[in-house]
Amino acid sequence: MKAEKSTLDRWNSSAKNYANFIRESINTGSQKIWTDLILRDMPERKLKILDVGTGPGFFPIILTMAGHDVIGVDVTPGMVDEARNNARELGLDINFACMNANQLYFPDESFDMVINRNVTWTLPDVFECYEEWKRVLVPGGKLLIFDSNFDINFFDPEMGEVLRKALRRNAEAGTSSHTAHSRYMIRETYWETRPMIGTPRPEWDRNMLMKLRFRDVRCETDILNDTSEDSDTDSQAVAPMFSISAVKPSAEEEAEMILQEYWNPLSACFGGRTVRQYRDGSLAEGLGFLTGIIPRGSKVLDCGCGAGTVSVALNAAGYSAEGIDSSQWMVDEARRTAETLGLDIRYTLGRMEELPFEDGTFDAVVFRNSLYASDDPETALSEAKRVLRDGGILVIEDGNWVATIDHLKKTDYLRGVQAIDARTDLGFGGTDVVDSVLMAKPLSSESRPYWDVAKLEELGFSDIDCSEADDILLAPGEEFVGRGFVVKSVKESQVVE
């Protein structure tokens, strides 16, 4: 409450002076500069925009003039009054409201943009505000922040020297009194209550927005350079204005971001394990069952290849195998693994639900512990059938991994914890965050392998055979998550009459 009162007192007292400055900026070059900066890369349509910390209403005024639907909010009643007066004088009907930056009275997904200028440095909890601003953005909506590292001279000796030179130059020229810019050299009471002062920015903001899973986070420094706004003021010289932009992902995009956050760092672990298992012989032994299913010399697609475990094992056994995965990190790791082992294997970045291969390209397609994570497993199987030649073999090795863990967590806490630990060692889940995403996948609620067998029958596969997985590479966790299953089937020849 003390910090909030300090904010209200400070900005209420300066509302009229700040409003005069804003009025002078309207219908000048400043208006075009800021309108262009805000609307850059935005679609050419009427946007619904929220300006948080609007002050005397500069952004809502110029953006309303540009044809957009804008609301301005500020915690300071004096600023809101000045904003309304400014809009009224210009004949503009703009909605301004007194509101806290971290407690917005708007429904979820209300705005195409949330913007502000010189606001975030004043906030007691910027992370909490970023969460709130994300909430009111529509999926695909943009957060755009303009701010400066005010008072950085207290923390950066180089910037402190820049300011001293400017103050010295002005004093020598008689263009300012010795007290005119004292706030840049003397710590004031309000300074003490602002946690963002001294925080390295915009790096901090970028990291927090990434943590909140915004996408396309971009930071630009000294954005007013070479514009009429780049006045040679002491503050601009020491703390040039930067911008931070970020886009709110859709629910599907955010779920994919969570999965990528989980799988990407594990790529190195999977790659290193594949190299070790290749060299100690356990890889050939663990995946030896595939050589009993797929004829030697076949051209094989390792679908959801990860770090290349299946394709490495098959190429070493005399097959022509290649892999595809939706994680760039996994694809890079698979290539690195193959190079380390002296194997020439092709790996492609792509989705199993949209395979970038011609019809009838492969003699066999293998899904090893990958189909369970698909957003559309039926389409993935249809795509596998399409790229198989007539008589080609489809192999699914998988398990009810996520459903099993969820069941254990609900019915037996200790075994559930042990199951999570065991599964983490094997590379399957391990955190509540990623588990919640995987539990939303279609196959997490299906009884498998019964679903797989029924779906393959629907798709016209024949000679379907289902058995327990004989994959010793999964053995360490079998007492918790089971050994999984293998389904083998054949694409029937298409008879053309």
Determine if the pTM surpasses 0.85.
Answer: no
Residue 295, pLDDT score: 93
Side-chain half-sphere CA neighbours of 355 within 13 A: 28
Q: In the CATH hierarchy, which fold is given to the domain comprising 253-491?
A: Rossmann fold (3.40.50)
Cβ atoms within 10 Å, residue 155: 13
Question: CATH 3.40.50.150 in the chain, residues?
Answer: 2-151+187-249, 253-491
- Give the Å distances, CA to CA, from 4 to 9, 109, 123: 9, 27, 9
Q: Rounded to an integer, what is the distance from CA 489 to the centroid of its chain?
A: 38
Looking at the structure, give the CATH architecture of the domain made up of residues 2-151+187-249: 3-Layer(aba) Sandwich (3.40)
Query: For residue 14, what are the contacts with CB-CB under 8 A and spacing of at least 6?
Result: none
Q: How far apart are CA 40 and CA 43, in angstroms?
A: 9
- Concatenating the DSSP letter of every residue in 258-282 gives HHHHHHHHHHHHHHHHHHHHHHHSH
Query: For residue 458, what are the contacts with CB-CB under 8 A and spacing of at least 6?
Result: none
Residue 221, pLDDT score: 87
Residue 472, pLDDT score: 58
Residue 196, pLDDT score: 87
Tell the burial category of 13 from Cβ atoms under 10 Å away from its Cβ (0-12, 13-18, 19+). exposed
Q: How far apart are CA 75 and CA 98, in angstroms?
A: 5
CB-based contacts of 388-391 (< 8 A; 24+ apart in sequence):
388/360, 388/362, 388/363, 388/364, 388/491, 389/360, 389/361, 389/362, 389/363, 389/491, 390/360, 390/491, 390/492, 390/493, 390/494, 391/490, 391/491, 391/492, 391/493
Look-up of token digits 């369970």: 372
Reading the block at residue 406, the tokens are 């969820």
pLDDT in tens, the chain (497 residues): 555 655 555 555 555 555 555 666 666 678 888 999 999 999 999 999 999 999 889 999 999 999 999 999 999 888 899 899 989 988 999 999 999 999 999 999 999 999 999 999 889 899 999 999 999 999 999 999 999 888 777 787 887 777 777 777 777 776 655 444 555 555 666 677 788 888 889 999 999 999 999 999 999 987 877 665 555 455 555 678 899 999 999 999 999 998 888 888 889 989 999 999 999 999 988 888 898 899 999 999 999 999 999 999 999 999 999 999 999 999 999 999 999 999 999 999 999 999 999 999 999 999 998 998 899 999 999 999 999 999 999 999 887 766 555 544 544 444 445 555 555 555 554 566 777 788 888 888 888 888 999 999 999 999 988 887 766 565 444 443 444 677 878 877 654 44
